Amino acid sequence: MPKVTFVNEHRTVEAAPGRLLSDIAAELGIAVCREAFRGTGIGDYTCWVKGEPGATSPPTFLEKLLGARGQRRMANRTRVLGDVQVWTQAGPGNRLRAPRPIAPPPSPATDPEAPRKPIDASGSAAFPYGDPRAVGHGKREPIAAGALEAKAAKEKKAKAAPAKVAEAAPAKAAEGAATEPAETAKAPGAAKAPKASEAAPKATETEAPKSAATEAATAPEETTATRAAAIAEKTGGGESP
């Protein structure tokens, strides 16, 4: 006999081939109709059915008009022919009414065929941020003892370095201001050197006129002697009468 599993309600039953999904759900107290008016049974019978090809009757013309596509079917027009899984829509009435028998949740630990959540990145009660096998390797390299403290000390030292440089700048400026007067005190001695060097040109200037004056003084004596010698030569070397 075909097995029908209502996934949201955790119920699996065996049903005779050809029965409507809505009839099977009613026997279990599962509401598959979102009624437009309470108690009338008229409303939306949408559900989602998954199974092998041929596990359900083909969609009718009315189902296609109502939007049946792929796994989306109408529970009041779908007949079961093989093993199927059924997902009912949310909020179609009270699911805790008395006729509904409640089965324990599936336990993969005791039943290997029980449906279970696949390994994926979606959150669950056990793994709110997703299964580690899907979102990552689930491992991390161990952190050496004292590594965090050393890192914090290094960051603190790096932050303190600019502050020390800023504090050292005024001290260097003060030292520079203290050395400037000493340099200016030495400056007058250095300024005297040009004066001594300037004295040499003055001495040479005074000496140059003196040599010119001596030349001018000796020049007349030489000219008179040469004139006397010239006159003597003209007169024949005799004495004048």
- H runs (alpha helix) in the chain: 21-27, 61-66, 132-135, 147-235
- Contact by Cβ (8 Å): 74, 47: yes
Q: Rounded to whole angstroms, what are the CA distances from 54 to 13, 51, 75, 129, 231?
A: 19, 8, 16, 38, 167
pLDDT at 231: 75
Pairing of strands 3-6, 11-14: antiparallel
pLDDT at 176: 65
Q: What is the pLDDT along the chain (241 residues), one digit of tens a residue?
A: 899 999 888 889 999 999 999 999 888 888 888 887 777 778 889 999 999 988 999 998 888 888 888 899 999 999 999 999 999 987 665 555 555 555 677 787 888 888 777 888 888 888 888 888 887 765 667 777 888 888 889 998 888 888 777 777 776 666 666 665 555 555 454 445 555 455 445 544 444 445 544 554 555 555 566 777 777 776 665 444 4
pLDDT at 240: 44
pLDDT at 203: 46
Closest CA to 73 of 106, 103, 96, 50: 50
- Contact by Cβ (8 Å): 30, 11: yes
pLDDT at 3: 92
pLDDT at 223: 58
- Contact by Cβ (8 Å): 82, 54: yes
pLDDT at 241: 41
Closest CA to 136 of 119, 155, 160: 119
